[in-house]
Structure 1
Amino acid sequence: MPCTTVSPNPQFASIRTARGNFSQEGLRGFDLRGKTLGVIGTGDIGRHAATIARGFGMEVLAYDVKPDPALARELGFRYVDMNALLGAADVVTLHVPGGPATRHLLSTEQFDAMKPGVILINTARGNVVDIEALLHALAEGKVAAAGLDVLPEEPVIREEAELLRSYFAREHKLNTLLANHVLLRMRKVVITPHSAFNTREAVQRILDTTKQNIDAYLEGKPINLVA
């Protein structure tokens, strides 16, 4: 679960230990059991996040523009409005699509509504979070830590399909583009290169689904329509 990578930050601990420093100072985290996870977006990924959190013994609250009461009963979570979720969650995880409707879904007003010391996880799309507002929330301690698999500045790898193409073409580098990004220099922020989905099995599922979509279209029976 992504929140286990930010509290405490294992990257910092590993680097420090490799340098011969075995101190535990600054590495104390917290148990997930008994904490509250706020899931924003209960599509396929969001519902899996809820399932995993329940396995850790967490209470799960969810917000979605199209609630699924049957799913909530099945997985044992509750739908609440956005402000209620933000005010109660110890960890907030985002699983919504990108686009105008979700741009800056979390901004200053939403960070102000969160409880102090919250952890934010964004594996959705970079523009869902107002980065300037997040920086202020981190600086003030409102957000204790953040795990970001996406950033607004991602100019190349915007969709999983583009990352897949890079396997067969050339490796895209974000290093130069993000080198001066202040978030990269913050110890309480873990940033990964839009790779949360990137397992052998997930890549194979994407390829299989793509082939099925093409075959179905050629047969005049399109599937998995999104519009």
Structure 2
Amino acid sequence: MATKEKPTIVILHGWALTGDTFLPLVEALTKRGYRAISLDFPGFGSAELPKKPWGLADYADWLRDWLQKQNIKKPVLFGHSFGGRVSLKFQQIYPDKVTALVLSGTPGYTPASRWAMMVGFIFSKIGGAFFSLPPFRLVEDRARLLWYRLIGAKDYLRPQKVMRETFKKIVTEDLVASMKSVRCPCLLLWGEGDRMVRVGIARRMTPTIPGSKLIVVADARHGVAFKKPEETAKIISQFIQNDAAA
């Protein structure tokens, strides 16, 4: 059972994942005396779909309400990839409701080049008209999937249109202001071999986020948190004790 001195750790999953993905990390943190919870965002796992396409602020508002219902005050937010985007936006909007941030594989700066994102924007605008033509309707999803893979957005294609539109909103949101607004302790935890969000992005993020620290885990990739849960839990615990103690 968590002690009063130890904050609750809320784990926010990445796109195309669920809270269950991080159960090994929950178990590892629980062994260290923390109350750790991994949730399902709306549109993932057992959670309901959003009624309309959501942006990061919508997910941040949902998280605020969820924390209130769970009676969780000032947690440490562990955000993996997309979950880290939500964490950054949450602390920007609700800075008094979070103790610390741990970001893992979070694209604070887009992995795609500006050129690729610009072409992607143009593609998204003209693609609808192009693929409305009868000869191309059958290959629309395959073509879109190929394109978004080329610009570094592998998780675009989802079965539900509302989630595809949500994804487009999420990946085009600029996080620089959110990163600069961080006033709580923040740890960047990266897999050395992360190919989805390379360590170079983490190194750009570190000076942007005031007072943040970067730890790179050897022999690990984008899924370091659930592939190496014991090592991840140890790093998180040390960070909380040394940098985020009440």
Please indicate, yes or no, whether the TM-score normalized by the shorter chain is above 0.5: no
Q: Kindly indicate which of the two structures has a greater share of residues assigned to helix.
A: 2
- The normalised TM-score by structure 1 is 0.25
* Greater relative CO (CA pairs within 8 A, separation 6+): 2
- The normalised TM-score by structure 2 is 0.24
